[in-house]
Amino acid sequence: MKFEEMKIDKRTKRALKKRGFIEATEVQEKVIPVAMKKNVIVQSRTGSGKTLAFLIPIFEDLENKGYVEAIVLVPTRELAQQVEQEARAIGKEYGIRTVAIYGGASMERQIAKLPSPIVVGTPGRVMDLMRRGYLSLERIKFFILDEADRMMDMGFLEDILWIMKRTSENKRMMLFSATMPEGIIKLARRYMKEGEKFLLSEDEISARGVKQYYISVGEINKIAKLSALLDIEPGKYLIFCNTKRKTQELAEKLRVLGYRSYPLHGDMRQASRTKTMNDFKEGRSNILVSTDVAARGIDVNGITHVVNYDVPLYPKDYVHRIGRTGRMGKNGKAITFVRRDDREYFRRIEEFVEKKIPEIRLDSKGKVRERIDYREFSNIYGMVKFKFKLKKSMSEWDLIKCVERAGIKDFQIGKIRIKNMDGIMEVHYSTAHRLKKVDILNELRVIEQNYPEV
């Protein structure tokens, strides 16, 4: 259905047209007519167009009488900014103000915009302003929870209940969630009377439109594989690392290599985070390197690739990550870099998504030369086994002396066996590359690996 065909205010239609929204998505077409009259609880995956599904019904019933009429609670400041931007675009046609309130930004500036008819905020800052007397929700007509499951995961349930108890009883409630855990169901049963439920799509687990692959690669060659991928398949990339430090380092390495790459993590100032997101949305950068926490609430169209530079520790984080691509009917690709130490975590991910994820190989070379990653060939003690030939006959003790002269300590040398001119030796992966300096060794190879000569 086209928005022009909907029974909604012409000012909303005008705002949507300016924004380039012509046809309603499934969640918008089904939820909007009902939400204009009833409470709703909606299960719909991120990127399905749910923001307009609750904003349009709000604008249909706003009176703009000088107090807060709608509160939208979201889990992160990034999502608060995005929802408020959508609300502001529609609000301009009505002459209605909107405000986003969240931590990490000037409280004075947010207070100056209160009371606005529509407030979008994170629970912590909303509670803070309520306690200080700057924000009253006693007369609200709409109470919206967006990404309710993530707010539960982040421990916001008690905060949500605290806020809810201080709102008008005569309000319309809308609850949007990608999954329906028990906590969400209990909340709906307790506070939403005569609500209508919409189970429109599964969580990102279904990842419709997302092709999933993995690449087997050691830590030191991840940057080489990523460079090759970026050169072979240009696009808009969202890359995930497990730590803030690694996010910063990887973004800087990519920038040195000539890629338009920027980090997004919790240690950045809010102004920097906002600029980074805007640059990514508007195409001034095409690679965003992020942590899971910083990426919550990111809703950017046109992401072609999600790369798990680090395997996530929890399967649910995996499906949230890859759900950032393949949106709004477009195709996307998710690629996970899997080290040997990650295989158990990756197996759990496959069980969770109920799918065997295929491996792909990247034989093309990027801007970084690949190296032999000895750690990938080490045992649980970190020892790598080599097969070699001697250039001249010698004892095992004499060979140990030669190896030590190459800078390998005695405690980094494991078993050595020599028979005639052939031998087997174990060396710790951290110093295995120094075996190349032992000129008495010939035909040095990692055992049981089809790998090139050292």
C-alpha 330/C-alpha 58 separation (Å) is: 29
- Binning pLDDT at 50, 70 and 90, where does residue 12 land? very high
* Percent of the chain with pLDDT strictly greater than 90: 50
- Binning pLDDT at 50, 70 and 90, where does residue 450 land? very low
Cβ burial, residue 329 (10 Å; 0-12/13-18/19+): exposed
- Binning pLDDT at 50, 70 and 90, where does residue 239 land? very high
C-alpha 362/C-alpha 134 separation (Å) is: 56
Q: Tens digit of pLDDT for each residue in 307-355?
A: 999 999 888 788 888 887 866 556 789 999 999 888 888 998 888 888 8
Contact 279, 288 (CB under 8 A): no
Looking at 118-132, 271-285, 335-349, which range is the least confident one? 271-285
The per-residue pLDDT for 454 is: 41
Shortest CA distance to 40 belongs to which of 199, 201, 196, 200?
Answer: 196
The per-residue pLDDT for 328 is: 54
Residue 23 is given by DSSP the state B
* Percent of the chain with pLDDT strictly greater than 70: 93
Shortest CA distance to 276 belongs to which of 261, 291, 266?
Answer: 261
Q: What is the mean pLDDT of residues 96-121?
A: 92
> Does residue 124 surpass a pLDDT of 70?
yes
DSSP string, 285-334: --EEEE-HHHHTT---TT--EEEESS--SSHHHHHHHHTTSS-TT--EEE
The per-residue pLDDT for 448 is: 61
Phi, psi of 156, rounded to the nearest 5 degrees: -95, 5
Print burial letters for 207-244: b (CB count within 10 Å at least 16), e (below 16).
beebbbebbbbbeebbbbbbbbbbeeeeebbbbbbbeb
**What domains does the chain contain, in order, with CATH numbers?**
3-199 (3.40.50.300), 210-353 (3.40.50.300), 374-446 (3.30.70)
245: CB partners within 8 A, 6+ apart: none
Residue tagged 């072979």 (tokens): 232
> Does residue 74 surpass a pLDDT of 50?
yes
Angle between helices 123-131 and 157-164 (to 10 degrees): 40
Q: Which two tokens stand for residue 210?
A: 């997302």
The per-residue pLDDT for 47 is: 64
3-state SS class at 66: coil
The helix (run of H) or strand (run of E) holding residue 448 is none
Strands, E assignment, 51-121: 70-73, 98-101, 118-121
Looking at 82-86, 104-108, 376-380, which range is the least confident one? 376-380
